Structure 1
Amino acid sequence: MVSDNSSNQNRLQQLKAFDESKAGVKGIVDAGITKIPPIFVRPPADYAGDDQVSGETTKTHFSIPVVDLADTASRRPEVIDGVRRAAESVGFFQVVNHGIPKRVLEEMLEAARGFHELPREAKAEYYSRELMRKVKFGSNFDLYQSRFANWRDSLFCVMGPDPLDPQELPLVCRDITMEYSDQVHKLGVTLFELLSEALGLKPDHLLELDCAKGHLILSHYYPPCPEPELTLGTTKHSDPDFLTILLQDHIGGLQVLCQNQWIDVPPVPGALVVNIGDLLQLISNDRFKSVEHQVLANLEGPRVSIACFFTLHLYPSTRLYGPINELLSENHPPVYRETSLQDFIAYYDGKGLDGNSALTHFKQPNLQIPVINLGGLYGDRHKEIVNEVRIASETWGFFQVVNHGVPLNVLEDMIQGVRRFNEQDLEVKKEFYSRDRKRTVRFNSNYDLYQSKAANWRDTLAFTKPAVDHEPQELPQVCREVALEYTNHVKELADQLFGLLSEALELKPDYLTREMECAKFYACVCHYYPACPEPELTLGTSKHSDPAFLTILLQDKIGGLQVLHDNQWVNVDPISGGLVINIGDFLQAISNDRLKSVQHRVLTNRVGPRVSVAYFFKGETAAKSYGPIKELISDENPPLYKDFSIDEYHGKFFSQGLDEKSGLDQFKL
């Protein structure tokens, strides 16, 4: 049996032999092989992702957008809109009528082919892995890091920002490379101006960030492959630059990952392929998409492509790149931290084409709301759990609980029950449709439809305590049984949580339930968020805080709930079997701001439907008056809120709708 160490040593020897031959992949093909060497074979683990993402030619009707740059001066708004839509949704588009003569394109492809088909000895002069060398020939920059070598050779030329001495270029492609470089740089400047305006910025904004100051030209050569199904021309990756402009010949093989499906980018005569790079996604704060792409190996060939990467690469620069300030707001906080180009390129080259985006490494720390394990609540972990609840409620206002005692099958059945109700025939649902808040069971969409600035993308089934306790027959039959069962579990959990919160406030365990009657009344709100074709234009639920003491939320696996924490939106990722708990406005008021009721929202999604079930615990709604708890008030901590009734608070809340303002402001002293 061959050991892993022996196998690795054997592979390293094969890699070195290939590298030291300085002949590239073409040298292997010229030797007359009929099977590809082992170093090029994709390992079985690499195929695992193909179960979810097809690597075969797609049969979809979707195609990469084509943007016509003809007469841009008179058609500028139309062209900008086309560029914006392509950059935001696909990250790839083709441009026609771009101004580079057909002769230049054809001669550039022919010259690149001419270089790669020179005798091995002529190309060997340029063969190098020296990082700072401006003109070099090689095969697989990540040869020693990659899981498998790619079936291609490359000529790498740094054309700027310092002008390249033409004498450094191989004679066979010297003149046309200089001419093409000049022409493609001018096109890049035009595209950066259009992209700037697509972001709502001045035309020269991206140019002032030096996005077009430097560029590289890579001439790729993909020889015909005897076993194309076993390898790739280029592994799945995204580009470590601001923008890439690609010239490809007629062979094809380039594919883009779009909506979890590989889409062919077929050659269009006279067209150039444009794609957003990682650095432009970073500075646009995810407005523009740098998408993964790959090149298939092919029995036919050779395939030739010329990629122009707009980047300063390793050119000395002290500039740091981060999200553009003009694109940031409360709703769009920075997704990425600042980085220098040198650090970005070093990280990208160090990891190689491993199928993972380099952008992930430069994202801001991924904040997550606390998760509290209620296991051992009545044992030796009781004080520990009380402390965790206190910290989460004082700092976040949101937390998730696991091991809470509600059976997993009940959670799943409740989600399915809500889904069944919403997916019934419309005529059946109409029986429950009402805007009368006195009805104990009602179905509608947007309780604040006539007050809101924009309607939210959701439908809602709501029922209140009287329906469960006295009129269960009023509940829809398709979810009645599980709604009753789930409600009983949630009421028990609410009593436990109010006990923990009482102790977190250094009160008697039953204070919030017995003295304040926080759990006396509840309402269940079941939300259904259908898949949305344009999720960037709307919200599932607008920013708000809850008019309740406490909310217990069950959500399915889709996600979309976000919490505003330290002026940053934080995802509340679904946890299998978990429930989301959040402090409501009433509890913040009676705790005199000890506990926090924070604003949150729900994003829409192209994936769906999303289902959630929220129980709002609202206390005594009629005669009782609520204000800061006297045990929490002192000379050092005077009351911050005036007394109010729940009905009074609800009256103001529901009359103004989800206007993104806290209802607590109206009751502050």
Structure 2
Amino acid sequence: MPTSDNYASYPPSYRPSPGAAGPGPDAVSCTSAAAGLPVVDLKGLDQERLVEACEDWGIFRLVNHGIPRELLSEVLELANEFFSRGFEWKQALKRKAMFYFWGSPSLSQSGTSKQTGPFVESQNWLEGLNFPLSESSSSLEYDLPLLQRFRSLLIEYGAHQTRLAQTLFNAMANHLAIPLAKSSSYLSPPTAFLRVYRYLRCPGADRRLGIMEHTDSSVLTILHQDHVGGLQVYRDHMWLDIDPVPDTLIVNLGDMMQAMSNDRYRSIKHRVRVSESQERISVGYFVFPAEDAIIESSMYRPFTYTEFQDKKAADLKIVGDKVGLPRFRIHQYA
């Protein structure tokens, strides 16, 4: 993916300036996960192999997914064109359905001085575009050709992602013997959104992160990344690089899937490193349960995704970090 020397496209806090880099990744050793990362073939879906990947890793590489190569390439190309626009132009989108953010979506929507003031050390070194797939049925039109093209492309891409998520989740639900009445609300395509990220070139990249370590709150997350690496997962007390492989996707399980499986499946901790010399584009698809669906499990007290999100927001405000599933685990955090 080509990079631009024009820092006018970067949010002001991320433009080069004198001063030492702040805290970032720890000193835990890193290595490639290429040899061990499970590979799941969607064309001849082997349920046993899928289950092994979910139980042992919580993440896998998906091949033969059926998304045209040209569509995958075009999404990355148009994303690069969008992010190369000036910061002020992108900033004007933050109140639209297709909204632009940087650092984190919550900071960008909050209207606080953190957006344009001195860099917040815990902020992620990225900018992004959020696109709810429920917006695709809206009559909302955009007045700029680039946004019209991008919206159309993301709708097409999102339809493929929904197909993949439903196929994979149905196989998982079947293995877990989740009744159809429940599984139909445990994965709700109208809740899904796409998030397009650009990880910015970063001075002192060894001391910064594109995204801090976390688990996803989703049922499933499906990632399409360009050729620039950076994604890492935490396994066996070590950070492992998930190297890009052309024409493949990365699927990881989220907290909701772990709860639904009674902890048989893993919601894996992951993060993204940044580069001093290269930008990185990735596109994530996130899908959740219906808001009023009650997640029932022998390991957790019954809860809805809305309750989960409310607890997460409260913890971020009070504790300063996501606690997540332990808040609902039986006999803990009573």
Report the 3-state secondary structure (helix = DSSP H, G, I; strand = E; otherwise coil) of the residue aligned with 2:189: coil
1:654, CA displacement in angstroms?
Answer: 3.9
Distance 1:502 1:465 in 2: 23
Contact 2:32 2:241 in 1 (8 A): no
Structure 2: distance between partners of 1:472 and 1:626: 34
Alignment of 1:344-363 (within 5 A): none
Choose which of 132, 156, 162 in structure 2 pairs with 1:491. 162
Across the aligned residues of Structure 1 and Structure 2, the Cα RMSD in angstroms comes to 2.7
CA distance in 1 between partners of 2:63 and 2:208 (Å): 32
The one-letter code matched in structure 2 to 1:501 is M
The match for 1:110 is none
Q: 1:615 to 1:366 in 2, by over 3 A?
A: closer
Query: What does 1:351-390 align with in structure 2 at a 5 Å threshold?
Result: 368-377=36-45, 385-390=46-51
Alignment of 1:441 with 2:95, yes or no, is: no
Aligned match of 1:554: 224
Paired residues of 1:502 and 1:512 also in contact (CA < 8 A): no
1:534 aligns with 2:204: yes
Q: How far off is 1:372 after superposition? A: 1.4
Aligned with 1:420 (options 81, 105, 112)? 81
**Aligned residue identity for 1:444:** F
What residue identity is the alignment partner of 1:443? Y
Write the mapping of 1:243-262 to structure 2, written as runs, cut at 5 A.
none
Whether the 8 Å CA contact 1:552–1:579 is kept in 2: the answer is yes
Contact 2:33-2:243 within 8 A present in 1 as well: no
Q: Offset of 1:374 from its aligned partner?
A: 1.8
C-alpha deviations, 1:34-89, integer Å up to 9, x for none? xxxxxxxxxxxxxxxxxxxxxxxxxxxxxxxxxxxxxxxxxxxxxxxxxxx9xxxx
Using a 3 Å threshold, how does the CA distance of structure 1 residues 660 and 495 change in structure 2: closer, same or farther? same
Structure 1 residue 413 displacement after superposition: 0.8
1:364 Cα offset (Å):
9.3
Match of 1:20 in 2: none
Q: 1:342-367, CA deviations, whole angstroms, 9 ceiling, x for partnerless residues?
A: xxxxxxxxxxxxxxxxxxxxx89975
For residues 531 and 493 of structure 1, what CA distance do their matches in structure 2 show?
32
Give the whole-Å Cα distance in 1 for the aligned partners of 2:122 and 2:217: 20
Describe how 1:329-348 pairs up with structure 2 within 5 A.
331-334=26-29
- CA offsets, 1:267-313, max 9 Å, x none? xxxxxxxxxxxxxxxxxxxxxxxxxxxxxxxxxxxxxxxxxxxxxxx
Aligned 8 A contact 1:367 1:570 in 2: no
User: 1:115-148 deviations in whole A, cap 9, x for unaligned?
Assistant: xxxxxxxxxxxxxxxxxxxxxxxxxxxxxxxxxx
- 1:470, distance to aligned residue in structure 2 (A): 1.8
Whether the aligned pair in 1 keeps the contact of 2:42 and 2:62 (CA below 8 Å) is yes
CA distance in 2 between partners of 1:653 and 1:453 (Å): 21
* Count of paired positions: 291
- Report deviation, 1:472: 5.3
Q: Do 2:188 and 2:290's aligned partners in 1 also have CA atoms closer than 8 Å?
A: yes
Residue 661 (structure 1) shift:
4.6
For the residue of structure 1 that corresponds to 2:105, the secondary structure is coil
2:52 pairs with 386, 391, 402, which one? 391
Q: 5 Å matches for 1:188-587? A: 331-334=26-29, 368-377=36-45, 385-434=46-95, 440-445=97-102, 446-449=104-107, 454-471=122-139, 473=141, 476-507=147-178, 513-587=183-257
CA distance in 2, matches of 1:569, 1:660: 20
Partners in 1 of 2:290 and 2:157 — Cα distance? Answer: 22
More RCO (CA 8 Å, sep 6+): 2
SS at match of 1:410: helix
> Aligned residue for 2:8?
none
- Give percent identity, aligned residues only: 29
Deviations 1:234-270 (A, max 9, x none): xxxxxxxxxxxxxxxxxxxxxxxxxxxxxxxxxxxxx
Whole-angstrom CA distance in 1 between matches of 2:86 and 2:33: 45
Which segments of structure 1 move beyond 6 Å, counting only runs of 4 or more? 363-366
Which residue type is aligned with residue 609 of structure 1? Answer: E
**SS of 1:477 mapped into structure 2:** helix
Q: Distance in 2 between matches of 1:544 and 1:455?
A: 13
Q: Would the alpha carbon gap of residues 365 and 608 (structure 1) be closer, same or farther in structure 2, given more than 3 Å must change? A: closer
Choose 512-521 or 406-415, whichever is displaced more.
Answer: 512-521
| Structure 1 letter corresponding to 2:90 | K
Q: Output the CA distance in 2 between the equivalents of 1:478 and 1:488.
A: 16
Q: Secondary structure at the match of 1:419?
A: helix
Structure 2 equivalent of residue 592 of structure 1: 262
Amino acid in the other structure paired with 1:620: A
Alignment deviations for residues 488-545 of structure 1 (CA, whole Å, 9 cap, x no partner): 111111111111212332456x676525344341011111111112101210000000
Aligned partner letter, 1:626 = I
| Consecutive unaligned residues in structure 2, runs of 5 or more | 1-19, 115-119
Q: Secondary structure at the match of 2:53?
A: helix
Seen in structure 2, the aligned counterparts of structure 1 residues 589 and 488 have a Cα distance that, compared at 3 Å, is same
Structural mapping, 1:164-179, within 5 Å: none
Distance 1:517 1:454, change over 3 A: closer
Change (3 A) 1:515 1:654: closer
